[in-house]
């Protein structure tokens, strides 16, 4: 027998169903004819096919739920304070979720809202791309000795090839491809952010070792196209709309301690 594991369905503790116009009765309790539609829709939303085998699985599961609920009630479980608190909390959370879904359906985010959000996003977008060379060594003293050599005129690229333990960039004379600060570990990004073009950093440490970095170039990063972030913008607008609505409801509610 296949069992349903949908947590919403498992919360149901009184079950009613009709198949092929046949009423199912369990321990003198007739089952609700509307429940099959609810369960079927839940399963369909998950991409499940509701065939005859699935209908039988649903029937078997509901019968088991009704039987176990009846036994639990007789043993006092369903009247226990902790059990009733769980039921009340579940009821409230489901009501909360369903109400907010209904509110968003009735107050949808429009394309104009998204386009305005994108315009504001572009205005505030000020990310940069960076390009430079770095040398990574194991100790602070090694890094200090190398930076002295660089300041005295030694070629950065040759030193990187000879001493850097970051083999991938060492082969290119320490050259790093264009990168964003968010692509780097925080301690590396912090050092790079404050540099000007052609400026050499002091020695600094990350979890990988000790670094020397020379900034070659930086340029403004173009913002992503609307199509790339439309879903994110829409989700942010929904969250903001719901926060504002909940705040309004709280302000209008009568609350006393």
Task: Indicate which CATH number applies to the domain containing 164.
Answer: 3.10.50.40
CA 161/CA 170 separation, integer angstroms:
5
Higher pLDDT, 51 or 84: 84
Token representation of residue 221: 């990063």
pLDDT of residue 21 exceeding 80: no
Rounded distance, CA 214 to CA 196, Å?
9
| Cβ proximity of 58 and 44 under 8 Å | no
User: What average pLDDT does the segment 58-82 reach?
Assistant: 91
Q: Do 13 and 102 share a domain, yes or no? A: yes
How confident is the model at residue 3, as a pLDDT? 40
Same structural domain, 146 and 91: no
pLDDT at residue 22 in the model = 60
Same domain, 214 and 156: yes
H/E element, 209: strand 209-220
Q: Is there a single domain that holds both residue 131 and residue 216?
A: yes
- Same domain, yes or no: 139 and 216: yes
Last residue of one domain, picked from the residues 48, 76, 106: 106
Does the pLDDT at position 244 exceed 50? yes
What pLDDT sits at residue 211? 97
Lowest mean pLDDT segment, chosen from 10-24, 82-96, 162-176, 218-232: 10-24
138-158 average pLDDT score: 96
Range of the domain at 81: 7-106
Looking at the structure of the chain, the number of domains it has is 2
User: Does residue 61 sit in the same domain as residue 143?
Assistant: no
Q: Quick one: 173 and 206 in the same domain?
A: yes
Last residue of one domain, picked from the residues 106, 136, 168: 106
Q: Quick check: is 191 in a domain? A: yes
Whether residue 39 is contained in a domain is answered as yes
In a domain, 87, yes or no: yes
pTM for the whole thing? 0.61
Helix (H, G, I), strand (E, B) or coil at 85: helix
Mean pLDDT of the chain: 89
Nearest in space to 87 (alpha carbons), one of 168, 174, 14 = 14
Please check whether residues 101 and 19 belong to one and the same domain. yes
In this predicted structure, what is the pLDDT of residue 228?
96
Same domain, yes or no, for 168 and 207?
yes
């Amino acid at each position: 027998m296949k069992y349903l594991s949908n947590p919403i369905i498992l919360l149901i503790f009184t079950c009613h169903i009709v198949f092929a116009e046949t009423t199912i009765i369990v321990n003198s309790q007739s089952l609700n004819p509307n429940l099959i539609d609810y369960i079927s829709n839940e399963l369909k939303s998950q991409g499940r096919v509701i065939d005859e085998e699935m209908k039988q699985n649903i029937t078997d599961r509901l019968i088991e739920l009704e039987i176990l609920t009846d036994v639990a009630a007789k043993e006092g479980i369903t009247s226990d304070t902790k059990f009733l608190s769980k039921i009340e909390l579940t009821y409230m959370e489901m009501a909360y979720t369903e109400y907010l879904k209904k509110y968003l359906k009735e107050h949808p985010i429009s394309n104009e809202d998204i386009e305005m959000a994108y315009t504001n996003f572009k205005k505030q977008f000020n990310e940069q791309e960076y390009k430079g060379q770095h040398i990574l060594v194991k100790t602070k003293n090694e890094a200090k000795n190398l930076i002295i050599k660089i300041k005295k005129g030694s070629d950065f690229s040759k030193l990187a090839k000879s001493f850097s333990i970051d083999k991938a960039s060492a082969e290119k004379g320490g050259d790093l491809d264009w990168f964003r600060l968010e692509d780097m570990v925080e301690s590396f990004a912090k050092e790079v952010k404050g540099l000007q073009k052609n400026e050499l950093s002091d020695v600094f440490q990350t979890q990988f070792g000790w670094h020397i970095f020379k900034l070659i170039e930086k340029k403004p990063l173009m913002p992503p196209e609307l199509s790339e972030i439309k879903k994110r913008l829409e989700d942010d607008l929904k969250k903001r709309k719901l926060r504002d609505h909940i705040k309004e409801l709280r302000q209008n509610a009568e609350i006393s301690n």
